[in-house]
């Protein structure tokens, strides 16, 4: 594979299950269309509910809107581009300029290295997918911090977590996430982006130097390092929050049994107890964290293997599309866990239906 890239020739198909043949491409396109529809519709509903529901205009609501926008960008830009490329490969015999092996040939590589000429769409789609992934995990981390403040310091919550601070952190997370997504192109001249025939997405590709990986190929390790750092921080904050919830639940149980005296400060030793909605929201964010971790771990394994020279074609397809499928999971989790969201969806669809006695109402 490295020799093929170094000589500028398009690689022969490396996969046997999910990438080769008209039938497999057709099934893949059908899957991509269904996934794009689910991502867009689900997140449009999410955005509409949070925008039109006055009770959702809180710091937590703004963070959920940020997460929904990042997910919807994947469904609007990333997945449709893969659909377009797959259909193009089925109806034409010449692969597009952004296809694997085409943009890395010496004829198409610029003298500056990682930037290729002419410009091709993967230079936009690849960073968008990476940036939206980083925005998702950073937003989940911020949501976890916001809920931990509500649980650990409920009386100081309104003073510590304000709308202005939340909006600033959201803007900072978007800027830093997309800067990190562009880091391989900004800080190295040995990378380009091309449509990978295995993952069926625009991926970062090192430009081979004499058939070998460039010395700065490990810059791609910034991606899993960033995500696992935030996921580790999210896990630690969740542990602290759930430990506090467990202590509060035990105190409440002892109070109900009459085994705890009232001498520990007003409220039976629980003077600053968190509300039920805060506890349930913390559990919901814990589920979001688990879902994102499960969907991102295969990508991290693939990147680590890719940096050391392994090419896992079939595995890369499942890894990238499992992560993409996470973009439609959040609305499902909200629907199951958040009764306010369910009520907002119900009101949203009932608003289009005029009641039979509208005049009286």
Structure-block tokens of residue 289: 């964290």
pLDDT-derived band at 109, boundaries 50, 70, 90: very low
Report pTM: 0.79
| Structural domains for the chain | 122-258+275-339 (1.20.1070.10)
Integer-rounded Cα radius of gyration of the chain: 24
Strands 191-196 and 201-206: antiparallel
State the pLDDT at residue 80: 95
State the pLDDT at residue 227: 85
Structure-block tokens of residue 37: 């529809």
pLDDT at 351 over 60: yes
Query: What is the rounded CA–CA span in Å between residue 77 and residue 246?
Result: 43
Percent of the chain with pLDDT over 70: 78
Running DSSP on this structure, what letter comes out for residue 123? H
State the pLDDT at residue 174: 96
| Lowest pLDDT segment from 39-43, 187-191, 266-270 | 266-270
163, 168, 169, 171 alpha-carbon torsion, rounded to 10°: 120
Closest CA to 96 of 78, 112, 108: 108
pLDDT-derived band at 116, boundaries 50, 70, 90: very low
Task: Give per-residue pLDDT as tens, 155-192.
Answer: 888 888 888 999 999 999 999 999 999 998 888 888 88
pLDDT-derived band at 303, boundaries 50, 70, 90: confident
Query: What is the rounded CA–CA span in Å between residue 38 and residue 331?
Result: 10
Segment 26-34 shows an average pLDDT of: 92
Closest CA to 195 of 144, 251, 125: 125
Task: Give per-residue pLDDT as tens, 205-222.
Answer: 888 776 677 777 788 888
335 vs 123, which has greater pLDDT? 123
Residues 153, 159, 162, 168: is their CA dihedral positive or negative? negative
pLDDT at 108 over 80: no
């Amino acid at each position: 594979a490295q020799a093929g890239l170094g000589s500028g020739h398009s690689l022969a198909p490396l996969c046997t299950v999910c990438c080769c043949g008209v039938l497999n491409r057709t099934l893949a396109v059908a899957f991509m269309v269904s996934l794009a529809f689910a991502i867009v519709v689900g997140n449009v509903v999410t955005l509409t509910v949070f925008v039109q529901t006055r009770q959702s205009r809180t710091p937590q609501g703004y963070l959920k809107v940020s997460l929904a926008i990042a997910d919807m960008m994947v469904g609007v830009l990333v997945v449709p581009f893969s659909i377009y490329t797959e259909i193009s490969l089925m109806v034409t015999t010449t692969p597009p300029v952004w296809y694997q092996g085409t943009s890395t040939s010496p004829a198409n590589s610029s003298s500056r290295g990682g930037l290729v000429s002419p410009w091709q769409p993967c230079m936009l789609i690849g960073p968008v997918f990476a940036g939206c992934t980083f925005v998702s995990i950073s937003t989940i981390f911020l949501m976890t911090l916001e809920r931990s403040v509500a649980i650990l310091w409920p009386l100081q919550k309104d003073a510590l977590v304000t709308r202005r601070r939340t909006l600033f952190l959201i803007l900072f997370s978007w800027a830093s996430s997309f800067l990190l997504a562009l880091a391989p192109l900004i800080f190295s001249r040995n990378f380009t982006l091309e449509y990978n025939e295995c993952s069926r997405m625009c991926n970062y590709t090192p430009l081979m130097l004499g058939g070998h990986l460039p010395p700065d190929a490990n810059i791609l390790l910034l991606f899993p390092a960033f995500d696992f750092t935030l996921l580790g921080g999210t896990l630690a904050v969740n542990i602290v929050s759930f430990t506090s919830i467990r202590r509060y639940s035990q105190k409440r149980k002892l109070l109900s049994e009459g085994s705890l005296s009232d001498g520990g400060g007003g409220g039976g030793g629980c003077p600053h107890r968190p509300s039920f909605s805060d506890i349930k929201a913390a559990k919901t964010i814990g589920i979001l964290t688990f879902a994102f971790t499960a969907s991102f771990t295969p990508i991290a394994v693939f990147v680590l293997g890719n940096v050391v020279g392994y090419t896992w074609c079939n595995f890369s397809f499942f890894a990238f599309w499992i992560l993409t499928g996470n973009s439609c999971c959040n609305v499902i989790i909200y629907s199951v866990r958040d009764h306010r969201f369910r009520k907002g969806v119900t009101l949203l669809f009932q608003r289009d239906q005029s009641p039979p006695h509208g005049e009286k109402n």
